Amino acid sequence: MIGPVAEESRWIPASQDTMLAESLLGGGLPREAEHHLEQAGLSYHLDEVAEAHLSQAFMLAPDHAAVLIGLYRFYFYKGRLRDALHIAGVCLKKATRENSLPEDWRQVKPGDAAFDRYEEILPRFFLFTLKGYAYLNMRLGNAEEGKTAVLKLLELDPGDKIGAKVLLDVATRAGRDDDDD
Answer yes or no: are the C-beta atoms of 96 and 102 closer than 8 Å: yes
Range of the domain at 171: 2-180
* Helix (H), strand (E) at residue 180: helix 164-180
pLDDT, tens digit (0-9, with 9 covering 90-100), for 43-53: 999 999 999 99
pLDDT single digits (tens) 52-97: 999 999 999 999 999 999 999 999 999 999 999 999 999 999 999 9
- Alpha-carbon distances of 169 from 65, 148, 162, 173, rounded to whole Å: 30, 13, 14, 6
Q: How much is the mean pLDDT over the chain? A: 85
In total, how many domains does the chain have?
Answer: 1
pLDDT confidence band for 23 (50 / 70 / 90): low
Q: Is 114 in contact with 120 (CB distance < 8 Å)?
A: yes
Q: Which residues contact 65 (CB under 8 A, 6 or more apart)?
A: 23, 24, 25, 91, 94, 125
- CATH number of the domain residue 139 falls in: 1.25.40.10
10-24, 86-100, 162-176: which has the minimum mean pLDDT?
Answer: 10-24
| 7 pLDDT tier (thresholds 50, 70, 90) | very low
| pLDDT reported for residue 175 | 63
Eight-state DSSP code of residue 115:
T
